[in-house]
Structure 1
């Protein structure tokens, strides 16, 4: 059975960078058995109801500004998978989770930057899912749990976001991580490792430096969804951890 994953997507520029994190993602894509499909939840698609992309030929969305021109020319030509989209819709609906198919959505940079590193040939069909940042973590987890059966048919479930994602406090001239960023990630890792859901679901009340680390919920929400997809065994492994510009956590988790 395929594990589920949470990957930080960092800056859009990671797609053209060579560093420890991009090397890790490229290597992981070579080591893992190629999935039959990818269901990926992106922090950059927010909606009030759970949306599921069903576009057979999704465009590459360049949903950012102020970056090098070459980045806007990047294309990730993965195809969609209507059968997988409909299966996701069926699973969510069966669990009482309101959801809708979206036939127009392309792949935003929370999707194609990561997948360009993991599967550069774009030869795995991709279905993107939105996040509702207004949902509490228990509800995000429930969404992932409803999707866990997809893993048995070799669908890779990915949450794309960031455990510490504070763009307002970036330090462009250093890679040294802020102490508060490290402390929040360390607390989060300790709770994830033992699957301490009560504490994790109350991270806003119990986690250290939450206001600095999680100024908005949408980038942490995919973590709970990918964890929910690992609810059966409740086994977690931190695969990679580093920081970019001091306050941007580049972490990768695997859940079974």
Structure 2
């Protein structure tokens, strides 16, 4: 059975950088069993209703501005899979989760930056999924849980975001040091993830130290994908930190494996 993963997609520049984190992600793609398909929840696709992609051939979305021109030449021509998309929709229906299908949207950088490092040949079918920051963590977890059976069929579930993601606090002159407040929040998170302490995790915003800085109200869409990934491993409640590093003072590069 494949695990589910929470993977930080960092800043867009990650797509053309060669560093500790990009090397780790490239190696991760080589060590994981080859999946039949990837179901990916991206922090950069927000919707009030859960969306399920039924795209046959994805375009590449450049949902950022002012970066190195090389980023805008990258293509990640992944294909979709209608059969698996239908299976997801059937699981949602069975579990009372309302959804809408999407037939035109391409892959945003929350998806293709990660996928390109894991599977550079774009030869693994992808079913893109939206996230809804307005739901409670319990509801986000429930959506992931509805898909847990997919892991038994060699389908890899990935949630792409970032555990500490506060663009207003970034230090673009990077000295390689992580801010103490970011470390304190991430340490708290790691402790409760490893215990699978859902009551505490579901109330992270009031319990975790420095939560208002690590997950600001205007940016919680990057944090909440972790609940989708956890829910997808509800039948194997085990959390393992595979990688953690920081850039720009407090932007987390964390990879968690669930299951």
TM-score of the pair, normalised by structure 2: 0.98
1:145-224 → structure 2 map (5 Å cutoff): 145-174=145-174, 175-215=176-216, 216-224=219-227
Rounded Cα–Cα distance in structure 2 between residues aligned with 1:203 and 1:131: 18
Q: What's the secondary structure of 1:26's corresponding residue?
A: helix
Partner residue in 2 for 1:60? 60
1:1-256 → structure 2 map (5 Å cutoff): 1-174=1-174, 175-215=176-216, 216-256=219-259
Rounded Cα–Cα distance in structure 2 between residues aligned with 1:190 and 1:172: 29
Aligned residues: CA RMSD: 0.6
Gaps of at least 5 residues in structure 2 are: none
Rounded Cα–Cα distance in structure 1 between residues aligned with 2:106 and 2:205: 32
Deviation, 1:173, is 1.1
Q: What's the secondary structure of 1:234's corresponding residue?
A: coil
Deviation, 1:104, is 0.8
Quick check: 1:57–1:78 contact (8 Å CA) kept in 2? yes
Cα deviations across residues 103-144 of structure 1 (Å, max 9, x unaligned)? Answer: 011000000000110000000000110001000100110011
Deviation, 1:86, is 1.1
Gaps of at least 5 residues in structure 1 are: none
Q: What's the secondary structure of 1:242's corresponding residue?
A: strand
Rounded Cα–Cα distance in structure 1 between residues aligned with 2:56 and 2:125: 9
Displacement over 4 Å in runs of 4+: none
**Aligned positions, number:** 256
